[in-house]
């Protein structure tokens, strides 16, 4: 199963995962297409922190809400810091009071709350427990991956809601692919420490002497180590660096670009 681009005439295009949650949850991922931002942020930039005009980002978020059929005030976002903290949204009060908290992952049992993270090469990890009706989403760049932020989500889900990893369905969003994701010695050292005995499967040398990181394979291992069944992990094959025609890429643009949104809602 792969993310599918929904693109109809005069409608905002976005990616969705067919049959994820069998209709119980929707896993969505926006593109860079269909917005109002200009220049390097062209055109559906959803990140206020990027240097883009705030009015343009606001307009883009409204367009996204309309296209995804989600009310503006139901999107729940955090201040992403490339860490491993998981924020729990336990009540309707939390939906409003906890927005903007420092975290890189969110868990909730609430209906109609769109857990949302922003990315441009980092990976979104979607988790859905169809039995306990709990969802989680994590922002996982290389730091979040070696810190096993996705496993932290599963631990919180298990502790608070009785979720069992083997019952969960998961997905990994488009992200920087091994084809393009060159990393330095600091990242290599972190990967080797986090995945002893397995790092050879996650780091590869391509045409140059530089190492390339397989972030999707690493997050898949994190999920499997936490108890998720391999057949319940959907991995996107889309590389955000290769496909800058439809995605923003922080690396591909040398640091100045927009952000896509990964959204999970039940």
Task: Identify whether the C-beta of residue 161 lies closer than 8 Å to the C-beta of residue 132.
Answer: yes
Q: Tell me, what DSSP letter sits at residue 12? A: -
Residue with tokens 């729940």: 76
Indicate if the pLDDT at residue 265 is higher than 80.
yes
Structure tokens that stand for 81 in this block: 């810091």
* 12/6 Cα distance (integer angstroms): 8
Terminal CA-to-CA distance of the chain, rounded, Å? 19
Digit-coded pLDDT (tens) for 56-106: 999 999 999 999 999 999 999 999 999 999 999 999 999 999 999 999 999
Cis bond upstream, residue 43 (ω within 30): yes
**Quick one: which of 204, 261, 205 has its CA closest to 78?**
261
Q: In whole angstroms, how far apart are CA 182 and each of 7, 69, 140, 147?
A: 31, 37, 16, 19
Cα atoms in the 13 Å half-sphere on the side-chain side of 226: 29
The three-state secondary structure class of 113 is coil
CATH numbers and ranges of domains, the chain: 12-175+235-265 (3.60.140.10)
Digit-coded pLDDT (tens) for 113-162: 999 999 999 999 999 999 999 999 999 999 999 999 999 999 999 999 99
The three-state secondary structure class of 88 is strand
In the chain, the largest separation of any two C-alpha atoms, in whole Å, equals 53
Indicate if the pLDDT at residue 21 is higher than 90.
no
Digit-coded pLDDT (tens) for 193-245: 999 999 999 999 987 789 999 999 999 999 999 999 999 999 999 999 999 99
* 225/165 Cα distance (integer angstroms): 10
Angle value at C-alpha 25, between 153 and 155, nearest 5 degrees: 15
């Amino acid at each position: 199963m792969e993310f599918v681009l929904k693109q109809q005439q005069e409608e905002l295009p976005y990616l969705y995962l067919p049959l994820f949650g069998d209709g119980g949850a929707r896993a969505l991922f926006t593109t860079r297409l269909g917005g109002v931002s200009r220049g390097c942020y062209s055109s559906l930039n959803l990140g206020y922190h990027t240097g883009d005009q705030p009015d343009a980002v606001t307009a883009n978020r409204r367009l996204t809400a309309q296209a995804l059929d989600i009310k503006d005030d139901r999107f729940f976002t955090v201040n992403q810091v490339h860490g491993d903290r998981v924020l729990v949204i336990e009540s309707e009060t939390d939906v409003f009071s906890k927005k903007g908290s420092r975290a890189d992952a969110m868990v909730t049992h609430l209906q109609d709350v769109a857990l949302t993270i922003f990315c441009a090469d980092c990976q979104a990890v979607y988790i859905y427990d169809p039995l306990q009706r709990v969802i989680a989403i994590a922002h996982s760049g290389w730091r979040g991956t070696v810190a096993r932020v996705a496993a932290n989500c599963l631990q919180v889900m298990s502790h608070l809601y009785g979720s069992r990893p083997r019952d969960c369905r998961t997905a990994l969003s488009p992200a920087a692919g091994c084809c393009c994701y060159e990393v330095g010695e600091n990242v290599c050292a972190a990967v080797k420490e986090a995945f002893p005995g397995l790092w050879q499967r996650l780091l590869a040398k391509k045409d140059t002497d530089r190492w390339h990181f397989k972030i999707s394979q690493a997050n898949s291992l994190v999920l499997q180590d936490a108890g998720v069944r391999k057949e319940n992990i959907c991995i996107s094959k889309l590389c955000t660096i290769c496909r800058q025609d439809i995605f923003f890429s922080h690396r591909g643009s040398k640091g100045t670009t927009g952000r896509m949104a990964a959204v999970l809602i039940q």
